[in-house]
Structure 1
Amino acid sequence: MTLWQHQLRKLQAIAEQRRYRFRLKSVKGFVSLALVGAILSVAIAACSGNNTNNSSAETPNASPVAASKDNIELTLVSFSVTKAAHEAIIPKFVEQWKKEHNQTVIFKQSYGGSGSQTRAVIDGLEADVVHLALAGDTSKIEKAGLIQPGWEKEVPNDGIVSKTVAALVTRPGNPKGLKTWADLGKDGVKLITADPKTSGIAKWNFLALWNSVIKTGGDDAKATEFVTKVYQNVPILTKDAREATDTFAKQGQGDALINYENEVILAKQKGEKVEYVVPDVNISIDNPVAVVDKNVDKHGTREVAEGFVKFLYTPEAQQEFVKLGFRPVDEKLAQTKEVTDKFPKVKTLGTVQDFGGWSEIDKKFFADGGVFDQVQAKIKR
């Protein structure tokens, strides 16, 4: 708070006190209020004069300094599997911003499990932009007071900037003959997946399993029975998707791994021999992006942060997401031959909305004492 704003609040308090004390019953009281009013007018004028054309007038803690610097730093916090895509997209944005604004954007990047990243931002990691695995994580940052309500309406597609589906990765030759979600509940099958308490992808994995029962006519009781069988076949719950992949691929544990389709495609592009199936009953894995309002106003980076988020929706950026295995959010791009040839068609696709949105999903499945905890309590490892 500036000195003028501090004085202004004191004067307003004095005026309020005097209004009740004197209630204009005497000339003395009237003169006192008149004097306070005159001082307030001067203070307001001074404040207005000092803040002309300055975003700090609306956001007192905002810093306009960064906008005038030759170099500006932007902190991007995202979930682990977006790293390759952002590393391809960021240089394109930096080049465009330099050309249009004559300013060099320097990115600080942090990647990890979506749940862990969310907690880090709430606990003080000063992200300017967050690109997380699920809207529920973004909503937690909103509830912490760092993101203003309505963030999903400030950009296209309700804030969803990347999406994929769940894939079932198997050992070479698929010796266990795993083709559907139901196969993961069979005796003798070992599945590798992450922990929904720390990983966004693990929540999606759980929903994919649950959805496979509901979308084929089952009820909650049957879905609970099925996911309990599956998680009995999980020898270890890893912290995040990256660790799950390493456990399966590098340590050789498990017969199958549930992973994002884009991660599998990226691995194949890197020359890894990966065999996988995209079950035709699946879940749309939608990843939102948002500007962290409190932090960009503090850093003076709102303009460049909003520019970066906007850039992620351009055909140029979406094309990079597609190259690295994400299904495009741009419908025009989704209809191109390149995309239809690249991604297997899913016959029955569930969505978060089918289950009441992330608030209801978290409450039902992942809150303390929820369905996931109940399932874990039944499992003896």
Structure 2
Amino acid sequence: MTWKPPLSQPSALVLAAGLGLSALIPFTATNSQIASASQKTQLISQRGQKVEITLVSYAVTKAAYEKIIPQFVAKWKREKGQDIVIKQSYGGSGSQTRAVIDGLEADVVALALALDTKKIEQAGLIKPGWEQEAPNNSIVTRSVVALETREGNPKNIKTWSDLAKPGVKVITANPKTSGGARWNFLALWGAIAKNKGSEAQALDFVTKVYRNVPVLPRDAREASDAFYKKGQGDVLLNYENEVILAAQQGKTSPSYTIPQTNISIDGPVAVVDKVVDKRGTRAVSEAFVKFLFTPEAQREFSKVGFRPVNSAVAKEVGKKFPKVGNLYNVQSLGGWNAVQKKFFDDGAIFDKIQSGRR
């Protein structure tokens, strides 16, 4: 089915807060600024009247966190009598992961895929078993893949199978360098393998689709620029939440379709154990993570296009999102470690598909 999101005007948003509802303190910072601040000796006391933590997340969550953070700060002030400053850093999930591993002191990370969180775990910063430390196996945001077409959908692209037709140009990023593109690849694979097709049929279909991919941008942002700014392609594989948020901000007025066989794009959140233990911020960091699963926070995620993981909120906003008849997840494909090895490691299936394109 084809879905057009309701348009709304963006709200004036606050980035971080430290003094309750009556005096919210705006704050933005680059990775380098946050890293520099963490090295200073005059850090706000973590056990006194004020506490400071850092959230590192991927770019498209920013609009939600700008609303969620002041709510949590006010709640903590009411209940604990303590003021909080929550610093934030946003960027591509892969680059944020590297920044944390390289020394950006994040108390909480909320990334685009569990594979990135696993990398931080493997670097010794997060303890194994973090998936069980928060509700819903620590998956705090959810989306699906959308087929975003030119206005009026001149190529009549409605289903996955249309992407393999001759003359259809598909825009997606390189799954070797983009987390979002990995989701796209797995959605293409599952369109066959999770719809009663064999793996041989899935490989044949995905190979045909990538023959229709004229360029492989490095990341999802470059892919969007190729589609919108450079006018390349007939269809863009995109997160549903990105399509909805872009329309709300007046950047696009898109036509898009949500295929009925689709992958659940699950975004995890985790406390960075080594950092919170070093800084004495575990209590507030864990409370913040827990708050992200409350109806209040989940409503804010849904407003910017994410499908709620809270069942009550999901019922409240159900009409906003097209129903997906056959929704599967990464675990049904073997989990991220198996998926990485099978599809994206050097010499794996994606590389073999690329070799056939050349």
* TM-score bucket of the superposed structures, by smaller chain: 0.7 to 0.9
Helix, strand or coil at the partner of 1:161? strand
What's 1:56 paired with? none
What's 1:113 paired with? 92
What's 1:8 paired with? none
Does 1:372 pair with 2:350?
yes
Residue of 294, 305, 319 corresponding to 2:299? 319
Which has the higher mean CA deviation after the structures are superposed, 79-88 or 141-150? Answer: 79-88
What's 1:353 paired with? 331
Asked whether the 8 Å contact 1:116–1:198 carries over to 2, the reply is no
Does 1:329 pair with 2:309?
yes
What's 1:268 paired with? 247
Deviation string 1:347-370 (CA, Å, 9 cap, x unpaired) is 111211211111111111111211
Unaligned runs of 5+ in 1: 1-63
User: Once the 2 structures are TM-superposed, how far is the Cα of residue 116 of structure 1 from its aligned partner?
Assistant: 2.5
Cα-Cα RMSD: 1.8
In 1, the alpha carbon distance for the partners of 2:123 and 2:198 equals: 35
In 2, the alpha carbon distance for the partners of 1:260 and 1:205 equals: 9
CA distance change for structure 1 residues 243 and 97 in 2, over 3 Å: closer, same or farther?
Answer: farther
What's 1:306 paired with? 286
In 2, the alpha carbon distance for the partners of 1:137 and 1:113 equals: 11
Asked whether the 8 Å contact 2:46–2:52 carries over to 1, the reply is no
What's 1:363 paired with? 341
Q: Which has the larger radius of gyration?
A: 1
Equivalent residue letter for 2:296: E
In 1, the alpha carbon distance for the partners of 2:229 and 2:80 equals: 45
In 1, the alpha carbon distance for the partners of 2:60 and 2:219 equals: 10
Helix, strand or coil at the partner of 1:67? coil
TM-score in terms of structure 1 length = 0.79
Deviation string 1:117-172 (CA, Å, 9 cap, x unpaired) is 22222222221111111112211211211101111111111011110111010000
CA distance change for structure 1 residues 238 and 81 in 2, over 3 Å: closer, same or farther?
Answer: farther
Which has the higher mean CA deviation after the structures are superposed, 144-153 or 224-233? Answer: 224-233
CA distance change for structure 1 residues 249 and 263 in 2, over 3 Å: closer, same or farther?
Answer: same
What's 2:37 paired with? none
Task: Write 1 or 2 for the structure with the bigger share of helix.
Answer: 1
In 2, the alpha carbon distance for the partners of 1:299 and 1:376 equals: 46
In 2, the alpha carbon distance for the partners of 1:237 and 1:103 equals: 48
Helix, strand or coil at the partner of 1:306? helix
User: Once the 2 structures are TM-superposed, how far is the Cα of residue 65 of structure 1 from its aligned partner?
Assistant: 7.8
What's 2:82 paired with? 103
Unaligned runs of 5+ in 2: 1-42
Instruction: Tell me how many residue pairs correspond in the alignment.
Output: 315
Asked whether the 8 Å contact 1:168–1:278 carries over to 2, the reply is yes
What's 1:281 paired with? 261
In 1, the alpha carbon distance for the partners of 2:55 and 2:122 equals: 20
In 1, the alpha carbon distance for the partners of 2:82 and 2:184 equals: 41
Equivalent residue letter for 2:178: S
Equivalent residue letter for 2:184: N
1:84-233 equivalent positions in 2, closer than 5 A: 84-233=63-212
Equivalent residue letter for 1:210: W
Asked whether the 8 Å contact 2:44–2:51 carries over to 1, the reply is no
What's 2:229 paired with? 250
Helix, strand or coil at the partner of 2:269? strand
Asked whether the 8 Å contact 1:80–1:242 carries over to 2, the reply is no
Equivalent residue letter for 1:307: A
Once the two structures are aligned, what percentage of the paired residues are identical? 63
CA distance change for structure 1 residues 145 and 225 in 2, over 3 Å: closer, same or farther?
Answer: same
In 2, the alpha carbon distance for the partners of 1:126 and 1:377 equals: 40
